[in-house]
Structure 1
Amino acid sequence: MTTHGAKPPRRPAGDGGTGRRPHGEGSSAAPASGRVDAGSSGAISRRAALGLAGAAAASGLAAPALAQTTIEWKMATAWPADLEGPGQSAQRICDAIALLSGGRMRVRLFPDGELVPATGIFDTVSAGTAQMGHAASAYWQAKMPAAVFFTAVPFGFLPHEHVTWIEQAGGQALWDKLYAPYGVRPFLAGNTGAQMGGWFTRPVETLEDLNGLKIRMPGLGGEIMRRLGATPVSLPPGELVQALSSGLIDAAEFLGPASDRALGFAGVSKLYYAPGFHDPNGANEMLVNSVAFDGLAEDLKAVVIAACRAETLLSMAESDWRNAQAFEALKTEDGVEVRAYPPEILAALRNTGVQVVASFADAGGLDRDIYKNYMRTLQTLAPWSSASTRLFLQGRET
């Protein structure tokens, strides 16, 4: 796995980062997009529709008075079809865009591997082959090391703090600047919540147990594990369970209990470690080709933004609820043993994590600017989070 230390030159993909004109503009009406389940994970429910209507009102959107030519886009995603959590988020955004646009704009969803593998989504959107892509920024670490800040940082922001950084403390402007050379616009588009520390095929009780451990852990967490003797392995979500079962890897982290259980980890491993030190926040992103986005009418631009924002809020609530239920089911129904990382290992992860993240201070340029802004925001939020959340939870648990 390429770590943050290797920084290839920033080179726009495809046609120089300008993108192509959006596919399908001026075409006839498209079929309904992607896969839709009848339950809460699929087609937009009445409650969700009301929420989207509120988002539309807040964004100043109005339903078109007359039917207009339908714009058809493609969305490549990093997730298996209808995967609980991020896969469903991507589908709901497609549905929301169709609803809020009054049918003027439709987005067809392509799960991982159907249009392009997960690792190729950024370049596909940059080139304009797909106008949208739903993934996590940590996937682009080899291309842009600082991209990991926009998914999660070890021992960094919690989900609501991450939203605060993006929306209030300058995170969005830095994110835009990072992706601009590639002709891509990024937006927050879902959050899977705090993650767990991974599934293991054998116990890890001392630091020596990490030596030679083959673990799927992308982003800065993988670099921390590498420095402690493990071997990070890069694999897309759809291959993780088979890789664990076959012995290709010894451990893997993906998301939280709900998505992990849906993917089938409990069938191949019974050791589930906590906490998710590497990903205390699970921000997902929507990549949009800049030329395609700029070619939209202003109200349709607002539709795309409103759909992403609404999904971020919904997914944060959904992830808390589903993860709580799945966490209990993993233990009581699936026979999974939840273990805490031993204090020796957790301390080493923390100390090494500080060094890994701090290395961005020496990177220079935009990477350093992102690091400094992130850390300044964390230092501003931390005392309030401690007083308002940590102390409250301590009191609630007594």
Structure 2
Amino acid sequence: MERRQFLKGAAFGGVAAASTLATPAIAQGVKRLRMQTTWPRNFPGLGTGANVLAEMINRLSSGAIEIEVLGGGEVVPPFETIDAVEAGTLDMGHGAFYYWKGKVPATEFLGVIPFGFNAAETNAWFRFGGGQELADEAYEQMGCKVFLSGNTGNQMGGWFSREMESIEDYRGLRLRLPGLGGEVSAAAGASVVNLPGGEIPPAMASGALDAAEWVGPYNDLALGMHRSGWYYMYPGWQEPGTGLDNFINLDVWNSFTDEEKAIVEAANAYANDYVLSEFMANNNDALNTMVTEHDVELRRFNDEILIALAELSADVLDQLANADPLSRRVYDSILRFRAQATDWASVAEGAMAQARALDYRFSQPSD
């Protein structure tokens, strides 16, 4: 298939109205853009996803679009990235949807909610359930066009200094857990704090924390959280499939030709798949390393705890959604799609996972 034909088929997004005046730098026919991430340069899974996005845009454009990838803090502090993109200081950014809840509250719902979508369901909701249109509406308020640009997949529930046996065990628990999961845990009685990743292991070692969540085996092993000797709890009810965002200054986006827009959309679709695959492959290896080489003990949250957390999640999410009209519309859309996805999962992915976990004889690798 020719590149132009492929790109026409890849396009599916809309264009929002511009609110600032910014255009990409052009030299010798090449558009040069600057994209800052909210992650350190080349950070596993997250930072590498931004690199893959930039490389794919360059390849699909036959070198006509070049993107300089900057790590978090290289131009502005990480959580000011979207402000710099809106102002035109940067052309693009790469982060996580819920980082921008202070500017547009609805963004906290777009990427992930407790007991919400897995990665495949997130993709389906964005493409066929109205998620992309709602995301565009939210990001237009920040002067940006947005794309789903990666997913961590299901995260872990975190590291706990003691095994969690009851929802009452959350009372007084000093827990590092950001986002909606943190708000739900606080409603359960935990004392929730937020720390940068690099500060988590020292806080675990010093006794300043009783529990901490980062991402999953791939990133947790790299951070050294397994050295705590704590229980590694699952499932990651708080983030069952966390979406990453690529946001582009609206005037820059509107300056693109239709083919260039299709290139950016296709590259984001590729990066979205690549990041999830990277996490899946490396989580497999990292978890095996933790258990077999470092004697990490896995523990499952029991049903009593999960049911209590789910019901608290409903209360917290409803309260947040009711405080903002767009948040309410986003959450209602998620709830409608979630009901359908749950029905299907019960006879498809969920049922197959149960079948695969049964005790039976199966083939083994020949080597």
Band of TM-score, shorter chain: 0.7 to 0.9
Gaps of 5+ in 2: 1-17, 359-367
Asked if structure 1 preserves the Cα contact closer than 8 Å seen for 2:118 and 2:240, the reply is yes
Counterpart position of 1:106: 66
Asked if structure 2 preserves the Cα contact closer than 8 Å seen for 1:18 and 1:127, the reply is no
Distance in 2, Cα, partners of 1:239 & 1:131: 31
Query: Superposition pairs for residues 25-40 of structure 1, below 5 Å?
Result: 25-27=25-27
1:390 aligns with 2:350: yes
Percent identity, please. Answer: 36
Secondary structure, aligned partner of 2:348: helix
Judged with a 3 Å threshold, the aligned counterparts in structure 2 of structure 1 residues 176 and 193 are, in CA distance, closer, same or farther, namely same
Distance in 2, Cα, partners of 1:348 & 1:334: 32
Asked if structure 1 preserves the Cα contact closer than 8 Å seen for 2:162 and 2:230, the reply is no
Asked if structure 1 preserves the Cα contact closer than 8 Å seen for 2:106 and 2:324, the reply is no
Counterpart position of 1:340: 300
Distance in 2, Cα, partners of 1:308 & 1:226: 35
Distance in 2, Cα, partners of 1:172 & 1:212: 39
Deviations 1:205-262 (A, max 9, x none): 4434322333232221111011111122233444433443455543322222112212
Query: Superposition pairs for residues 296-375 of structure 1, below 5 Å?
Result: 296-360=256-320, 362-375=322-335
> What is the CA distance between 1:203 and its match in structure 2?
4.0
Secondary structure, aligned partner of 2:155: coil
1:164 aligns with 2:164: no
Distance in 1, Cα, partners of 2:314 & 2:296: 31
Asked if structure 2 preserves the Cα contact closer than 8 Å seen for 1:118 and 1:236, the reply is no
Distance in 2, Cα, partners of 1:241 & 1:133: 28
Pick from 67, 70, 77 the counterpart of residue 117 of structure 1: 77
Distance in 1, Cα, partners of 2:226 & 2:71: 23
> What is the CA distance between 1:345 and its match in structure 2?
2.5
Pick from 174, 182, 190 the counterpart of residue 230 of structure 1: 190
After alignment, is 160-169 or 205-214 more displaced? 205-214
Distance in 2, Cα, partners of 1:126 & 1:368: 25
Secondary structure, aligned partner of 2:33: strand
Gaps of 5+ in 1: 1-16, 28-67
Pick from 363, 367, 376 the counterpart of residue 336 of structure 2: 376
> What is the CA distance between 1:191 and its match in structure 2?
0.9
Counterpart position of 2:142: 182
Distance in 2, Cα, partners of 1:357 & 1:225: 12
The AA in structure 2 aligned to 1:320 is M
Counterpart position of 1:135: 95
Alignment TM-score, normalising by the size of structure 2 = 0.86
Query: Superposition pairs for residues 77-116 of structure 1, below 5 Å?
Result: 77-116=37-76
Count of residue pairs brought into register by the alignment? 341
Counterpart position of 1:35: none
After alignment, is 96-105 or 334-343 more displaced? 334-343
Judged with a 3 Å threshold, the aligned counterparts in structure 2 of structure 1 residues 297 and 352 are, in CA distance, closer, same or farther, namely same
Alignment TM-score, normalising by the size of structure 1 = 0.80
Secondary structure, aligned partner of 1:333: helix
Judged with a 3 Å threshold, the aligned counterparts in structure 2 of structure 1 residues 289 and 240 are, in CA distance, closer, same or farther, namely farther
After alignment, is 323-332 or 197-206 more displaced? 197-206
> What is the CA distance between 1:81 and its match in structure 2?
2.2
